[in-house]
A = this chain, B = another copy of it.
Amino acid sequence: MTATALSGKELATEIRAETAARAAELTAAGRPPTLAVVVATADESSAWYVRSIARAAEKAGVHCDVIDVGPHAAAAGIAGTLVRLNADDAVHGVILQTPLPEGVNAQEMALAIDVGKDVDGANPASLGRLAAGLPAFAPATAQAVVAILDHHGIELSGRPVAMVGRSTVVGKPAAHLLLDRNATVTICHSRTRDLAAVTRAAEVVVAAVGRAGLITAEYVSPGAVVVDVGTNPTGDGGLAGDVDAASVGAVAAALTPVPGGVGPVTTALLLSHTVQAAARVRAGG
Contact = CB atoms under 8 A, between A and B. Distances in A.
Interface of A: 107-108, 111, 123-129, 131-134, 157-160, 166, 168, 172, 175-176, 179, 182, 184-189, 191-193, 198, 201
Nearest to A190: B182
Secondary structure of the A side of the interface? mixed
B157 A191 contact: yes
Given A175-B187, A187-B175, A193-B159, A123 B128 contact: yes
B134 A108 contact: yes
Integer count of this chain's copies in the complex:
2
Contacts of A160: 193, 198
B187 A133 contact: no
A172 B157 CA distance: 18
Given A157-B191, A184-B198, 7 more contacts: A124-B128, A127-B131, A133-B168, A184-B191, A184-B193, A185-B187, A186-B186
Contacts of A185: 186-187
A239 to B, nearest CB: 27
A179 B190 CA distance: 11
